[in-house]
Amino acid sequence: MNWFLSANSSTQKPLNYSKVADESMPFLGKSKSCSRIHRYLRDTMAKKTTFWKRWSKPYRLTILEELSFKERWEISISRFGVALTVGALVLVVAASVYALVAWTPLKEFVVPGYASENSRLRAIQAEMTADSAIRQLAIQEEYLEALSVLLQGDVVERSIEAPEEGGADGGQPLAEWGLTQEELDLRSRVEEEDRFALQRGHMNETTLRNIPFAPIQGSISSKFNPAIGHFGVDFVAPEGSVIHAVDDGIVVIASYTSDGGYVISVQHPSNRTSVYKHNKSLLVEAGDRVQAGDPIAILGGTGTHSTGPHSHFEWWVDGQPLDPTQWLPEHLEDVSLSE
């Protein structure tokens, strides 16, 4: 089967414009002006086949059988029609490809550098978590600064927001970290056991103030007297004795001050704070996590307010200083008040 392309032409003989211009020459004369007019008419009339006529000239596309030359199909076309059809097809194909890439998951594989929807959601979640962590860090720093001011005897005039309690996971349930039920049960049993055989049930107003572990074994030389600015008690013991953390917590201050000497402050759960002053040396640093009974300092007599080797201990609950002697553990038998 063959196809043929032929142009439709009329039976009338085409007009020869150049010949017409030559035949009209005798009537125009032989002057130079007439010659120029003659050349202009000949060139202009020879270009009567304009661009539009060439592109709109009809052609017939016919499909014939190869052996019998029987016509099977035919269509009338022109150059302009072919160009218009090809352009329309190109636009349709381009629009289809764009829609396929833009509105389907195919763009994740076709477009270089395009992030998937899951990646975008994870990025947003990570940004929100980082923003929350930065905010909590700022609150923690402000809280520690205010606590340091209080321990130095100054007054904090502005209200300080307490940092949220929780671990590094921000309070995320342990089950979400992939722990099995057996591991969770083991963790619960370990948490219920107390390494010093202390009762740590639900903290009410009384148990919240209790001191689970004595900071040091010795006698008390100076009582609690907030009227004169003495917000703790002074333990007397041999120089070099070990001072222990009274409960689990995080060391927030471990530095030297002129009046308190080497000072340690430990932040405990439920907004409780213990302070240890006049130490000879420190065994922990700020940011360390300690447990009840852990050694944290060595007894000494540093600082301008110290008159000899002793340990000044303060116990703060909800921002208020309490008399430690009323809340020390009952098993501390060798603690006695010296007048």
CATH assignment of the domain containing 311: 2.70.70.10
Sorting pLDDT into bands at 50, 70 and 90, what band is 218? confident
Do both 15 and 68 map to the same domain? yes
pLDDT, tens digit, for every residue of 82-105?
889 999 999 999 999 888 888 887
Between 177-181, 221-225, 282-286, the lowest mean confidence (pLDDT) is in 177-181
Q: String of b and e for 305-327 (b: at least 16 CB within 10 Å)?
A: ebeebbbbbbbbbeeebbbbbeb
Counting beta carbons within 10 angstroms of the beta carbon of residue 211, is it exposed (0 to 12), middle (13 to 18) or buried (19 or more)?
Answer: buried
Q: Identify whether the C-beta of residue 300 lies closer than 8 Å to the C-beta of residue 281.
A: yes
Sorting pLDDT into bands at 50, 70 and 90, what band is 22? low
Sorting pLDDT into bands at 50, 70 and 90, what band is 12? very low
Domain of 300 in residue numbering reads as 219-326
Do both 232 and 299 map to the same domain? yes
Number of structural domains found in the chain: 4
Specify the amino acid at residue 104: T
Assigned domain for 240 exists: yes
Do both 224 and 321 map to the same domain? yes
Copy the structure tokens of residue 197.
Answer: 């055989």
pLDDT, tens digit, for every residue of 155-209?
556 655 655 554 444 445 555 455 677 767 766 766 665 444 444 444 556 677 8
Between 61-75, 116-130, 137-151, the lowest mean confidence (pLDDT) is in 137-151
pLDDT, tens digit, for every residue of 296-329?
999 999 988 888 899 999 999 988 899 998 888 7
